[in-house]
Amino acid sequence: MDSSLLPFFQPRGVAVIGVSTSPEKLGHGVARNLMASGYSGAIHLVGRKAEMLFGHPIYSDIGQVPDPVDLAVIIVPPQDTPRVLAACAARGIRAAIIASSGFREAGPEGAALEAHCIEIARSHRMRLLGPNCIGLIDTYLPLDTTFLQSAMPSPGNIGFISQSGAFCAAIIDWARGEGFGFSQIVSLGNQADINETDLLPAMAADEHTRVIVLYMEGISDGRRFVEVAREVTRRKPVIALKAGRSESGQRAAASHTGAMAGSESAFDAAFERAGVLRTDSAEQMFDWARALADCPLPPGKRIAILTDAGGPGVIAADALSTHGLDLAALRADTMAKIRSVLPPAASTVNPVDMLASASPADYAGCLRLLLSDPGVDAALVILPPPPMFRAEAVAEALIPEIRSSAKPVVVALMGSLLTQQAAESFRRARVSTYPFPERAASALDALVRRSEFLATPPSDDGANAGGKEVESHLTLAPRRSIAGDSPEELLSGYGIQFAPLRLARTPEEAAAFATQMGFPIVMKIASRDVPHKSDAGGVRLGLDSAEACLVAYTQLIEGVSAAKPEARIEGVYLQRQIPPGQEVILGAVRDPQFGPLVMFGSGGVEVEGLKDVAFALAPLTPSEAERLISRTWAGRKLGGYRSLPAADLEAARYALVQISRLAMDHPEIEEIEINPLRVLNKGAVAVDIRMRINPQ
Amino acid sequence: MDSSLLPFFQPRGVAVIGVSTSPEKLGHGVARNLMASGYSGAIHLVGRKAEMLFGHPIYSDIGQVPDPVDLAVIIVPPQDTPRVLAACAARGIRAAIIASSGFREAGPEGAALEAHCIEIARSHRMRLLGPNCIGLIDTYLPLDTTFLQSAMPSPGNIGFISQSGAFCAAIIDWARGEGFGFSQIVSLGNQADINETDLLPAMAADEHTRVIVLYMEGISDGRRFVEVAREVTRRKPVIALKAGRSESGQRAAASHTGAMAGSESAFDAAFERAGVLRTDSAEQMFDWARALADCPLPPGKRIAILTDAGGPGVIAADALSTHGLDLAALRADTMAKIRSVLPPAASTVNPVDMLASASPADYAGCLRLLLSDPGVDAALVILPPPPMFRAEAVAEALIPEIRSSAKPVVVALMGSLLTQQAAESFRRARVSTYPFPERAASALDALVRRSEFLATPPSDDGANAGGKEVESHLTLAPRRSIAGDSPEELLSGYGIQFAPLRLARTPEEAAAFATQMGFPIVMKIASRDVPHKSDAGGVRLGLDSAEACLVAYTQLIEGVSAAKPEARIEGVYLQRQIPPGQEVILGAVRDPQFGPLVMFGSGGVEVEGLKDVAFALAPLTPSEAERLISRTWAGRKLGGYRSLPAADLEAARYALVQISRLAMDHPEIEEIEINPLRVLNKGAVAVDIRMRINPQ
């Protein structure tokens, strides 16, 4: 971790500046929580009145505070903050939390104050958390710099970084009711200095933190976030709840790619690239986090369900299937052993339904059998209030099996009063429980995804996109200005064939253009009034000489004019004849946060209607390009589908890698789109290209 | 309600048969719960030992039990059940709950016992609930016939019908922890007699039940369920959790329609037709039910968000947008009034963010202003633990505003310990609270959907499908056997034009077929080895005479043979030339539960890849057909899209209504599919048709 952040996480002394003896003041709350947290370093209070608080003197100035003091928590009115910050700097403090609000979030005046604070901090190499934040909590150090009314969370293994202080406050209280704890919590506030990207490696370095959850509404430097997060996620799982979807406006777009690439597509692509699990709801974020903090990872996605009731077992099976997880096929000997201990009417086929008479020993014995089946990667145990036994007896029987297993087990503990003691036993044993099978299944899905992510070698996921894997394909085009390049030259520099369409307005022009383009040539009538050109006799194929073009021009114009006298005809379009194939769209658009975002999918004019497209951050390795392609129907059918013959998937993949490189190489390209790219039996040809350049 | 069900819901006396003095026996539990429930009618106990239990004598035989006794709860071993049932019948009892298990669910022997019970019941006009069920609960009567360890739920307004007893048991305990109650709960068990369809009207007739939730894994008579439920849902909302998705096997299919119509599509279509809200999770089912039981319905979907914290407000806005709800645009005077009471940095644009200093009076005052804005249909209030006030004070201030408003308000009460008292206040006042904004938004969505459903006139949703609306279109084909009909005759009987494709193997055959079909004619080479027929010169358009066909046949065969010497050629396909248009798929497949299920969407060979299809139960009214069409991209683009001209939507709608009628009229049709139907500028023509007939 960046050593300048150490004073936040290992301060030898903390000064609270702006304390008050009135309990309703926030400055009083900070002092109270810091004392109550059990922080073992030096605690110093600074305030306007020279009184005592909680047995500590209140100094009137930070300059009077004795050593050691590594961290200042500032909660004075915004207009006083720059002065206090400067005094801290003069005192040699290099880390400050500004908890006060009234800065950038409050308007231009506050923004000026915030800018002033940044200036002071920069000039003294001081790091700032906030302003407008609730500070930080470390349950192991321990340290609590917040002013919240809630008690400090219990120690746990979840690290929580939040761009919303109120969300932190609510979660701290909620988690206490749910019975889970945190290792560290950091509220970012306005992020005048420290942001989520700075904190990720710091939190990942904490030995007690096993999983990091991130609430964010925006991002300061998208590319840097991806770079840092992809390193962190190799070591510890990161889950993000990114809010503000509905605020993502449509961007001005000159292409389908631009029109479809909302900033949410960019966030999705960035999280995917970084290995961050994205969640859609706060509840789900912590459902996943609890499982990731406490469960081993499953070797695969074959899940066994153990239940004493059919209905919840069916619900669990549905939920697993929704997440794409598999119901494990149990081995015959596993089923035989289970059958030998259960009543005859019990179901020994997964979901294993032990029936309502299931005893604590039945639960434990069957779970042990399931976990020892090599075809089972994880188990979901369902425990409603058992009609004949106490739920806590079942819990006590299950816990040793769960804790001693190398495979993950999550429990759907359904109920409330009758299952309360069981819930407490499970919590103490760090077994993840959920009130319904659906949520337990979702937690298993998070474990499986984490396991699959770690199984993908990092070298394969884009880190070397600029490296050998791509360059082996061809000698790369030099990175140079594209000013003056024709689209044809630009694409050919990246090894993509282009067959442009040209409009000829006279027979002679048609013959001349055709000669430049190369034969055979396709000629089509150019008229907006003739939508179905083939049907109107407006298409000629296989023209193989200038003479043939001269003749065809006249025939085409005359034929269509005769058939459709009302049609306005501009001339004819010429194109080198491309063999039949499958047509796809490739595009790239520059996202303001994350840089070039690449799109692949079903092309034509219906791109936005069909929505069969997928996005990824550029640059792409060939294997990333292949994954992107396989996420769309257009991509899957390149392998052939019914009467549709297979096309050159490799050529499509290559073109996609190259367009991602092109977009990376030329930051002046705002949007570029090949629509369609015709993927042939062998090779692929760009039929049409659109591009928008930023003139600056 | 069916009067034969009255003894279950209004018994003057209840006999428990199979009681035991041993507390661990289920028969003891039933007696205990019945006593504890406060049931005010006569309670009779029947058991093997003539002892006393809870101050009541235990009779050895139901024949000895004095009047009144309307309902028997039987919990004796399965093999004794038929005898006991017969004794009940002889005693004049016409309603029995068989709580014992060991029947159909346990194997063939149990199934025979169950069949025997049904026989006895039928012959005495006796109604049965179960076997293998936990019985029923009515919290107002009150009555509890279960053997569950949990106390009876508190009285509420949710009626609950469940096909799983264990799920009931878990929910009863969970609801107690969550603080909500039920009006009635019925566990269906094996449904030897009474099923969910029988119970729906009975529960809807209960004055305390405001919403019915239904847990189901299957259905006994799908069409009857739809018929009954569509009547019930006009009066009271019904929410269904249908489990067993993952068990829906693929059906054998001869068409795309058959391949894509899993039984889940049929359930979706049936719930849609019946006005039943389908949910995917147990938690969501009760989130919706609580809102529907306690909130007024919103006049529209414009939602105001009131919060004291930005983050949760953003999360709420995202969730509303996910559900297709709108953020209300506040009137200028509403915003001005809100601005006048809040600090300058507060946001008066929806989401209204009062900032962390918001007082109970601020919450109440701002909510009142929002609810009085005519542009606001409902409100979502977010209440995390307030930093300066107690949450319960905010709750007390909000409750009168919420209770006095004709518009619904749901509360995201985020936290646990600090919000506990507020939660209790809200519960007492019947205000729906949710722990996170996402769940509150989902509950609002259920209210909006319910409101929109009631706004759709029932006459418009298929009740009159056989009535005027359809018949005005044409004189209907008589309902007669289709044996011997050609597809052409069949479709033309329903007013759908068909342009069949015929294979000619000689020039003379081509000329003869063309003359039968009518000119102009399109001729295409018939060869599997020539996938791109146009490109290979294998297509001729506009042939307008028998002579032209003779000549064209020879030219086509010779041309293609020269270009593709390796291609095996079968002859040529002939079809009456149809003008260009848009191509869609229409199909119907017979679902074993729900009868004919109609499909509409993007046709061609890629139906299953694109998955741009939607389903509805037949028959369809024109307006239902229009809704089905508009749910697909293929349907939306019939209105025209970019360079694609609009096609005859009315003709497509008409064909869809007619194919739904055709499928209704001919139960012997297992599958019928028009792919494609070419929708022209004026009219629509079936280009190809497939049909599978059940020979029985």
CB contact under 8 A, A418 and B173: yes
Q: Is B485 inside a domain boundary?
A: no
The reply to whether B186 and B55 lie within a common domain is yes
A77 in contact with B, Cβ within 8 Å: no
Which pLDDT does position B258 carry in this prediction?
76
Q: What is the pLDDT of residues B579-598, one digit of tens each?
A: 889 999 999 999 988 999 99
Interface of A with B in 434-463 (CB under 8 A): 435-439
The reply to whether A7 and A154 lie within a common domain is yes
For residue B49, pLDDT over 90 is answered with: no
CB contact under 8 A, A309 and B165: yes
Q: Residue A474: which H helix or E strand, with range? A: none
A170, A327, A388 member nearest B415 (Cβ): A170
Question: Coil, strand, or helix at residue B526?
Answer: strand
Complete DSSP assignment for A567-617: ----EEEEEE-----EEEEEEEEEETTTEEEEEEEE-STTHHHH--EEEEE
For residue B254, pLDDT over 70 is answered with: no
The reply to whether A168 and A312 lie within a common domain is no
Question: Coil, strand, or helix at residue A127?
Answer: strand
Q: Which residue has the tokens 């048609």?
A: A510
Q: What is the pLDDT of residues A647-664, one digit of tens each?
A: 999 999 999 999 999 999
Of A632, A252, A604, the C-alpha closest to B641 is: A604
Confidence of residue A474 (pLDDT cuts 50, 70, 90): very low
For residue B464, pLDDT over 80 is answered with: no
Kindly identify which residue of chain B lies nearest to residue A345, measuring between CA atoms. Answer: B106
The reply to whether B531 and B622 lie within a common domain is no
Contact A306, A379 (CB under 8 A): yes
Alpha helices in B275-322 (DSSP H): 282-294, 310-322
A670 in contact with B, Cβ within 8 Å: no
CB contact under 8 A, B532 and A309: no
Of B180 and B642, more confident: B180
In angstroms, the Cα distances linking B362 to B309, B327, B393, B394, B432 are: 13, 21, 11, 9, 20
A321, A356, A532 member nearest B580 (Cβ): A532
Confidence of residue A644 (pLDDT cuts 50, 70, 90): confident
Which pLDDT does position A695 carry in this prediction?
75
Q: How far apart are CA A496 and CA A677, in angstroms?
A: 10
The reply to whether B138 and B28 lie within a common domain is yes
Structural tokens at position B622: 């024109």
For residue A501, pLDDT over 90 is answered with: no
CB contact under 8 A, A309 and B176: no
* Average pLDDT value for residue range A162-181: 94
The minimum CA-CA distance between A579 and chain B, rounded to whole Å, is 8
The reply to whether A509 and A617 lie within a common domain is no
Q: Give the amino acid at A10.
A: Q
Q: How far apart are CA B544 and CA B514, in angstroms?
A: 9
Interface of A with B in 649-668 (CB under 8 A): none
CB contact under 8 A, B535 and A580: yes
Our CA dihedral for B391, B395, B397, B402, rounded to 10 degrees, sits at: 150
Q: How far apart are CA A186 and CA A199, in angstroms?
A: 9
Which pLDDT does position B530 carry in this prediction?
81
Kindly identify which residue of chain B lies nearest to residue A146, measuring between CA atoms. Answer: B387
Last residue of a domain, one of A455, A488, A518: A455
Q: Which residue has the tokens 């029987």?
A: A397
Interface of B with A in 520-579 (CB under 8 A): 528, 531-532, 534-535, 537, 541, 579
Which pLDDT does position B476 carry in this prediction?
40
CB contact under 8 A, B309 and A387: no
Contact B383, B374 (CB under 8 A): no
Question: Coil, strand, or helix at residue A468?
Answer: helix
CB contact under 8 A, B387 and A147: yes
For residue A515, pLDDT over 80 is answered with: yes
Q: Pick from A268, A318, A380 the residue to mutate for testing the B interface (most B CBs within 10 Å).
A: A318
Q: What is the CATH number of the domain that holds B557?
A: 3.30.1490.20
Q: Is B53 inside a domain boundary?
A: yes
The reply to whether A533 and A605 lie within a common domain is no
Interface of B with A in 296-355 (CB under 8 A): 308-312, 314-315, 317-322, 327, 344-345, 355
The minimum CA-CA distance between B595 and chain A, rounded to whole Å, is 24
Count CB-CB contacts under 10 A for residue A406.
9
The minimum CA-CA distance between B345 and chain A, rounded to whole Å, is 5
For residue B467, pLDDT over 50 is answered with: no
Count CB-CB contacts under 10 A for residue A36.
13
The minimum CA-CA distance between B468 and chain A, rounded to whole Å, is 35
Kindly identify which residue of chain B lies nearest to residue A105, measuring between CA atoms. Answer: B345
For residue A87, pLDDT over 90 is answered with: yes
Q: What is the pLDDT of residues A318-338, one digit of tens each?
A: 999 999 999 999 999 999 999
Contact B128, B192 (CB under 8 A): yes
B25 in contact with A, Cβ within 8 Å: no
Which pLDDT does position B463 carry in this prediction?
42
Contact B307, B352 (CB under 8 A): yes
Which positions in chain B touch A610 (Cβ < 8 Å)?
610, 612, 633
Rg of chain A (C-alpha set): 32
Q: What is the pLDDT of residues B297-349, one digit of tens each?
A: 999 999 999 999 989 999 999 999 999 999 999 999 999 999 999 998 899 99
The reply to whether A522 and A590 lie within a common domain is no
Which pLDDT does position A153 carry in this prediction?
95
For residue B246, pLDDT over 80 is answered with: no
A676 in contact with B, Cβ within 8 Å: no
Q: What is the CATH number of the domain that holds A86?
A: 3.40.50.720
* Average pLDDT value for residue range A500-513: 92
* Average pLDDT value for residue range A619-623: 95
Q: Is A220 inside a domain boundary?
A: no
Last residue of a domain, one of B528, B546, B576: B576
> Count of alpha carbons within 13 Å of A248, Cβ hemisphere only?
23
Q: How far apart are CA B267 and CA B254, in angstroms?
A: 21
Q: What percent of chain A has pLDDT over 70?
A: 95
Q: How far apart are CA B174 and CA B291, in angstroms?
A: 17
B77 in contact with A, Cβ within 8 Å: no
Q: Is A483 inside a domain boundary?
A: no
Q: How far apart are CA A309 and CA A435, in angstroms?
A: 15
Which positions in chain B touch A318 (Cβ < 8 Å)?
243-246
Q: What is the pLDDT of residues B58-97, one digit of tens each?
A: 999 999 999 999 999 999 999 999 999 999 999 999 999 9
Q: Which of A90-104, B70-84, B465-479 has the lowest mean pLDDT?
A: B465-479
Structural tokens at position A514: 């055709």
A107, A312, A637 member nearest B170 (Cβ): A312
Q: How far apart are CA A599 and CA A675, in angstroms?
A: 11
Strands (E), A506-581: 521-526, 539-543, 571-576
In angstroms, the Cα distances linking B254 to A101, A658, B593, B692, B695 are: 67, 43, 19, 7, 15
* Average pLDDT value for residue range A207-219: 95
Q: What is the pLDDT of residues B407-458, one digit of tens each?
A: 999 999 999 999 999 999 999 999 999 999 999 999 999 999 999 999 987 7
CB contact under 8 A, B609 and A637: yes
The minimum CA-CA distance between A73 and chain B, rounded to whole Å, is 18
Last residue of a domain, one of A522, A549, A576: A576
Q: Is A214 inside a domain boundary?
A: no
CB contact under 8 A, A311 and B162: yes
Q: What is the pLDDT of residues A553-598, one digit of tens each?
A: 999 999 888 888 888 999 999 999 998 899 999 999 999 889 999 9
B640 in contact with A, Cβ within 8 Å: no
Count CB pairs under 8 A between chains A and B.
268
Parallel/antiparallel/unpaired status of strands A595-602 and A582-591: antiparallel
Interior angle at CA B241, CA B236 and CA B247, nearest 5 = 145
Torsional sign, CA A111, A112, A113, A115: positive
DSSP state, residue A287: H
Q: Is B291 inside a domain boundary?
A: no
Q: Is A251 inside a domain boundary?
A: no
Kindly identify which residue of chain B lies nearest to residue A388, measuring between CA atoms. Answer: B24
Contact B577, B549 (CB under 8 A): no
In angstroms, the Cα distances linking B643 to A130, A601, A606, A618, B85 are: 53, 20, 10, 32, 73
Confidence of residue A139 (pLDDT cuts 50, 70, 90): very high
Q: What is the pLDDT of residues A19-72, one digit of tens each?
A: 999 988 999 999 999 999 999 999 999 999 888 999 999 999 999 999 999 999
Q: Is A141 inside a domain boundary?
A: yes
CB contact under 8 A, A150 and B418: yes
Confidence of residue B459 (pLDDT cuts 50, 70, 90): low
A147, A321, A385 member nearest B170 (Cβ): A385
Q: Give the amino acid at B644.
A: L
For residue A254, pLDDT over 80 is answered with: no
User: Model-level pTM greater than 0.90?
Assistant: yes
Q: What is the mean pLDDT of chain A?
A: 91
Contact A366, A352 (CB under 8 A): yes
Q: What is the CATH number of the domain that holds B645?
A: 3.30.470.20
Interface of A with B in 396-415 (CB under 8 A): 414-415
Q: Pick from A24, A149, A255 the residue to mutate for testing the B interface (most B CBs within 10 Å).
A: A149
Q: Give A644: exposed, middle or buried? Use CB within 10 Å, 0-12, 13-18, 19+.
A: middle
Q: What is the pLDDT of residues A339-378, one digit of tens each?
A: 999 998 899 999 999 998 899 999 999 999 999 999 999 9
Q: What is the mean pLDDT of chain B?
A: 91
A177, A246, A645 member nearest B531 (Cβ): A645
DSSP state, residue A347: B
For residue B133, pLDDT over 70 is answered with: yes
Q: What is the pLDDT of residues B533-570, one digit of tens each?
A: 776 778 888 899 999 999 999 999 998 888 888 889 99
The reply to whether A433 and A507 lie within a common domain is no
> Count of alpha carbons within 13 Å of A460, Cβ hemisphere only?
8
Q: How many domains does chain A have?
A: 4
Our CA dihedral for B587, B588, B591, B594, rounded to 10 degrees, sits at: 120
CB contact under 8 A, B282 and A315: yes
Which pLDDT does position B664 carry in this prediction?
95
Contact A538, A496 (CB under 8 A): no
Q: Give A466: exposed, middle or buried? Use CB within 10 Å, 0-12, 13-18, 19+.
A: middle
Strands (E), B23-70: 42-46, 52-53, 56-59
The minimum CA-CA distance between A107 and chain B, rounded to whole Å, is 7
Q: How far apart are CA B67 and CA B14, in angstroms?
A: 10
The reply to whether B552 and B613 lie within a common domain is no
B109 in contact with A, Cβ within 8 Å: no
* B247-268 per-residue burial string, b: 16 or more CB within 10 A, e: under 16: eeeebebebbbbbbbbbbbbbb
How many helices and strands, by DSSP H and E, does chain B display?
24, 31
Which pLDDT does position A252 carry in this prediction?
54
Of B575, B572, B638, B583, the C-alpha closest to B607 is: B583
Contact B677, B590 (CB under 8 A): no
B264 in contact with A, Cβ within 8 Å: no
Tell me which residue range forms the domain holding A557. Answer: 500-576
Q: How far apart are CA B419 and CA B359, in angstroms?
A: 15
Q: Residue A249: which H helix or E strand, with range? A: none
The reply to whether A348 and A387 lie within a common domain is yes
User: Please, which residues bridge with residue A182 across strands?
Assistant: A155
For residue B261, pLDDT over 80 is answered with: no
Interface of A with B in 591-620 (CB under 8 A): 605-606, 609-612
Which positions in chain B touch A441 (Cβ < 8 Å)?
none
Confidence of residue B256 (pLDDT cuts 50, 70, 90): confident
Of B127 and B487, more confident: B127
Spatial neighbors of A212 by CB under 8 A, at least 6 apart, are A158, A159, A160, A161, A200, A203, A204, A232, A236, A237, A238, A239
B244, B282, B437 member nearest A436 (Cβ): B282
Q: What is the CATH number of the domain that holds A435?
A: 3.40.50.261
Q: How far apart are CA B360 and CA B366, in angstroms?
A: 10
Kindly identify which residue of chain A lies nearest to residue B530, measuring between CA atoms. Answer: A643
Q: Which residue has the tokens 């497209």?
A: A613
The reply to whether A421 and A527 lie within a common domain is no
